[in-house]
Amino acid sequence: MESSPDKTELVALRRELHAHAELAGQEVETSRIIRTFIESHEPHGLVTELGGFGLAAVFEGLKEGPSLMFRAEIDAVPVQESNDVDYRSCRSGVSHTCGHDGHAAIVAGLAGKLHRHPPRRGRVVLLFQPAEETGAGALDVLDDERFDSIAPAWIFALHNLPRETFGEVQIRSGPFAAGSVGAILRFRGKTSHAAYPEQGKSPAVAVAQLIQALTALPDSIRPDNGIARLTVIHARFGEAAFGTTPGEAEVMATLRSDREDVLDRLRETVVDQAQRIARAHGLEHTHSWTEDFPVTTNHPEAVAMVEAVAETSGVAVALRDEAYPWSEDFGWFTRRFNGAIFGLGAGHEYPALHSPEYDFPDDLIPLGVVLFEGLIERILG
Ligand SMILES: [Zn+2]
Ligand SMILES: [Zn+2]
């Protein structure tokens, strides 16, 4: 494959973003670095501080036509990177171990050509979205009233995939990535002196029962051939005080499925179980939800376009028969707009996402640019 003329420039951008890794909701420098890069390619419009530290660059085509959006995430992950590279993260405990630095460089890599050779029609919007890791960013961007002026007819994104064949596109129509939500379940009883536990109401046994009930739950409502998963991720009760019987507790779990109706059933059942156990132990129960990711659903036509572009670019495509069990906040976009996200293999031996030794493979940058440029060519001519 012909290598992109901008590769050196884009690798430099990727490494600069890598060195300045920032957590979800704190992407100040990241946004500034991308803005400086994009401004050097003279976009027709720029929307800054979009839904937080998001940024959207608008490149107009030569005449009226549909709007095409490419979305990259820009936040880093709370992981201490172990790579000994000269562009390693300058923030301890924060690193680009999900590869969002690479995704941002790919989308930014479209700016040069869009400036030099505008599409024949329509417009292209490069969206740099903050806070993907917490599931908050996509919704914040969509809720920003300025988003309406850049709303797309089609939207695309990609995510690199370690442990998969390097440079292979993985895609499917319909559910591509599971929806997920975090459940926070609380019990309230009453503390007492540890010498007189009968004078209090300890939630300890209720917590143990709840963890068992939650762990067994997916088996009871598993759909025929889909995903239904529940992972207890945290639990605590009382204090580390040997003289006191605990009086309150908290259990957290992540629920996930590739079907919204199954996710809803998981939610209802989790609350039912917690209420049942609370009642049996004379405890009060409250709950709340967090980190809500909808199912990411690819539009069949958008998938067909990705397949066609990959084929003409000589890129291998693997059609997946099931959705990935992880979540992507791109699902908020596919709920409102036609679009697709695809995986791009990072290599079988490549370290896993969010692992300390992960570092986005720079060789994927020109490949991502070629695929997105192919979509621009195909949709806007
Ligand atoms: Zn991630
Ligand atoms: Zn990611």
pLDDT band at 219 (very low <50, low <70, confident <90, very high): confident
| Average pLDDT in the chain | 96
Which pLDDT value is given to residue 5?
Answer: 53
The whole model's pTM is what?
Answer: 0.91
Contacts with 181 (C-beta within 8 Å, 6 or more apart), sequence order: 254, 255, 256, 263, 267, 289, 290, 291, 292, 293
For the residues 5-16, what does the mean pLDDT come to? Answer: 92
Percent of the chain beyond pLDDT 90? 95
Cβ 126 vs Cβ 68: under 8 Å:
no
Ligand 2 centroid–CA 21 distance in Å is 13
Question: Please, which pLDDT band fits residue 6 given cuts at 50, 70 and 90?
Answer: confident
Instruction: List the 121-129 sheet strands across, edge first.
Output: 45-50, 54-60, 121-129, 63-73, 154-162, 338-347, 169-171, 317-319
Ligand 1 midpoint to CA 98 (Å): 4
| DSSP SS3 for 220 | helix
Q: For residue 260, give the H/E element and its range.
A: helix 260-280
Give the Å distance between the CA of 133 and the centre of ligand 2. 7
| Tokens 């499917």 belong to residue | 172
Which residues have their alpha-adjacent CB atom under 5 A from ion ligand 2? 98
CA distance 73 to 54: 9
Q: Is the pLDDT of residue 304 over 70?
A: yes
pLDDT grade for 218, boundaries at 50, 70 and 90: confident
Residues 211/224, Cβ–Cβ less than 8 Å: no
- pLDDT at position 1 is 40
Separation of alpha carbons 328 and 324, rounded Å: 10
Residue 156 pLDDT > 50, yes or no?
yes
Q: Is the dihedral of CA 160, 162, 168, 169 positive or negative?
A: negative
Average pLDDT over residues 208-234: 90
Distance 331 CA to ligand 2 centre (A): 13
Query: Do residues 155 and 337 touch, judged by C-beta distance below 8 A?
Result: yes
Q: What is the pLDDT of residue 205?
A: 98
CA 133–ligand 1 middle distance (angstroms): 6
pLDDT on residue 380: 97
pLDDT at residue number 131: 97
CA within 13 Å, CB half, 241? 13
How far apart are the C-alpha atoms of 274 and 213, rounded to whole Å? 9
Query: Looking at residue 2, what is its pLDDT?
Result: 42
C-alpha angle with apex 347: 300 to 319, nearest 5 degrees? 20
Q: How far is the CA of 222 from the centre of ligand 2 (A)?
A: 27
How large is the average pLDDT for residues 224-231? 88
Residue 3 reports pLDDT greater than 60: no
| Spacing, Cα 98 to ligand 2 middle (Å) | 5
Q: What token pair was written down for 366?
A: 């020109």
Report whether 264 contacts 149 (CB < 8 A): no
Tokens describing residue 334: 């596919």
* Over residues 208-212, mean pLDDT: 98
